[in-house]
Structure 1
């Protein structure tokens, strides 16, 4: 989100400026789609410095995974996830939010894929355009080491068995289909790559 973030040296987010450098204005964004509802994935929904808060992308529909919505809005979970109360629930009040599930067509070229484990309703997104295939994997794959060691899970994964299963599925799709994987938590120069099998070992090759 916009920050400043005390846990990261008061670093501020730069999404709006990044978009501006590409010639994209916030008003041009018509879809904001969430992979899941952790704090670092919902921070650009609403400008909390305003009273009342307003959406950063006023003309967008905000798409939220239905299983994560059900999970995080339970009272026993919501108490530990105040960012959902601040940055997600108001979208429903403003009638800007739509829930979606597995196999949802975000566009003609982007389809959701349920990859649970990190959260109960975590979604990845399959892209099929111009004869090329890719997957935006969100937090289903946190680190390059998980390509060769898919059983290694992030400490915050709520279901580590499901997390490993989702990761193995994405890796196999990349191997069998030559699919590019977009992994936002990898090092900046390795965000995009393919998985290749060498004997029994899986390796990551940036593109």
Structure 2
């Protein structure tokens, strides 16, 4: 079953697209292996760690909103630097919770790297089509420009197959800056991983939830703010962004949803003798909803 919880008048569901494996050293950037390896017991022979692909479904205000769509099922299954053999499960997991693709009104991509928007589209009878045909896809204008005009560093992660069919179908809404998509649901700029990366806030009835996107790929990165992934294009900006949202999360006792923590990736940050501590609100594992842990 999926992981449901409530924030005021909203029903939220964490639903998985699967699990990938990512280079452990790159995940922790400049942090020496001797410092981080004790936090990562599950490393494979290629020195990769399992990384979740947790999307968030939000129901309320007469709308159904989906945040991030995982890798989808179009990416190559060939072994390589990233283990992507166990992805493409989002639609099936949504259907198992009674949610059809046609039920989704809005799709928000925290950014347009392939592991966050690969499920935007699918192949039907040899043609690429939007996976959520009735939805508007709400994307930051700057992120759209970066994805449609990639440079030598970014062209391997910005894939046209994940976004061009949306534009062809007239389903893209480009926005600039912080945007309330539904009363109580906001996409908020959180630069660092990319310049126009966003997080998503849900606030209702005194409750507050935060979908953090790429602010963290492992829980210890929320406890130790200077531990920044090598995948962040602006690491010093990431540091300031993460500090801002971590402080806000502690102040507001936020329910945090992480796309890349082990499923379901839901928890809270507490202060313990002045030190930040991540506390999971459910004992999930990266494989529980995906068939098998990697």
TM-score by length of structure 2 reads 0.65
Segment drifting more, 60-69 vs 70-79: 70-79
- Structure with higher RCO (Cα < 8 A, 6+ apart): 2
Does the 8 A contact of 2:121 with 2:129 survive in 1?
A: yes
- Match of 1:186? 261
Question: Structure 1, unaligned stretches of length 5 or more?
Answer: none
The whole-number CA distance in structure 2 between the counterparts of 1:50 and 1:77 is: 32
- Match of 2:73? 2
- Match of 1:11? 86
Matched, 1:197 2:268: no
Structure 1 runs (4+) greater than 6 angstroms displaced: none
Name the CA shift for 1:100/1:78 in 2 (closer, same or farther; >3 Å). Answer: farther
- Match of 2:286? none
Describe the SS at the equivalent of 1:98: strand
1:13-92 alignment, distance < 5 Å: 13-74=88-149, 76=151, 80-81=155-156, 83-92=158-167
When the two chains are superposed, the root-mean-square deviation of aligned CA atoms in Å is: 2.0
Q: 2:170 aligns with which of 74, 79, 95?
A: 95
- The CA deviation at 1:103 is 1.9
The structure in which a higher percent of residues are helix is 1
Name the CA shift for 1:101/1:77 in 2 (closer, same or farther; >3 Å). Answer: farther
Does the 8 A contact of 1:110 with 1:125 survive in 2?
A: yes
The whole-number CA distance in structure 2 between the counterparts of 1:78 and 1:158 is: 10
Describe the SS at the equivalent of 1:17: helix
Does the 8 A contact of 2:192 with 2:238 survive in 1?
A: yes
The whole-number CA distance in structure 1 between the counterparts of 2:273 and 2:250 is: 12
The whole-number CA distance in structure 2 between the counterparts of 1:82 and 1:145 is: 25
The whole-number CA distance in structure 1 between the counterparts of 2:153 and 2:166 is: 16
The whole-number CA distance in structure 2 between the counterparts of 1:81 and 1:30 is: 29
- Match of 2:223? 148
- The CA deviation at 1:74 is 2.2
Deviation readout 1:141-192 (Å, 9 max, x if unpaired): 2111112211111111000011111111111011111111111211225x11
The structure in which a higher percent of residues are strand is 2
- The CA deviation at 1:5 is 3.0
- Match of 1:112? 187
Question: Structure 2, unaligned stretches of length 5 or more?
Answer: 1-71, 282-294
Q: How many residues align?
A: 206
Does the 8 A contact of 1:118 with 1:163 survive in 2?
A: yes
- Match of 2:284? none
Name the CA shift for 1:9/1:83 in 2 (closer, same or farther; >3 Å). Answer: closer
Segment drifting more, 119-128 vs 62-71: 62-71
- The CA deviation at 1:14 is 0.9
